[in-house]
Amino acid sequence: MSANYNLKTTRGDTLNLTVVYKANGQVVDLTGYIAQMVIAWVPPRGVQVVDGERITPGNIVVNGSIIGAEGKLVFNLSAEDSLELPKLPDLMYQVRLTAGPDTSVTILKGNISVDNNWFETGA
């Protein structure tokens, strides 16, 4: 079962997420696992135009780094890549751990509230 945690960011800012994975209060050794975060969006009505930008369903996959014995997952979405996030107020994300072809588990999910970047667009 995955935990829910909502995030907030601004388009054009670096998004850093660090997670320590625990089970029953104990850190889980993640040695040998691969971590990924997917940020996805689905505009209402399938396609939407916001500020002249045509927005269709899509996603960005962010590969995470793992410090195995500490149970730590680190995800970094660059400022440049965050500019690719659409001008929609709410996006969704999921964090998945994978160990080989037969083991995959979503450990975290939630919404990402995205503010417009006033440095790029003006207030």
Residue 86 has pLDDT above 60, yes or no: yes
Domains within the chain, CATH numbers bracketed: 3-116 (2.60.40.3350)
Residue 95 has pLDDT above 80, yes or no: yes
User: At 74, is the pLDDT very low, low, confident or very high (cuts 50, 70, 90)?
Assistant: very high
Picking from 68, 67, 77, the residue whose alpha carbon sits closest to that of residue 9 is 77
Angle among Cα 14, 18, 7 to the nearest 5 degrees reads 60
Beta bridge partners of 106: 96
Quick one: tokens of 4?
Answer: 């829910």
Q: What is the pLDDT of residue 116?
A: 81
How does pLDDT run across 46-71, given as a tens digit for each residue? 777 877 778 888 999 999 999 999 99
**Percent with pLDDT over 90 in the chain:** 65
Cα(25)–Cα(27) distance, rounded to whole angstroms? 7
pTM here is 0.87
User: At 122, is the pLDDT very low, low, confident or very high (cuts 50, 70, 90)?
Assistant: low
What lies within 8 Å, CB to CB, of 34 at 6+ separation is 63, 66, 97, 98, 99
Cβ–Cβ < 8 Å for 112, 8: yes
Q: What is the pLDDT of residue 100?
A: 85
Q: Which has more pLDDT, 48 or 20?
A: 20
Residue 123 has pLDDT above 60, yes or no: no
Mean pLDDT of the chain: 90
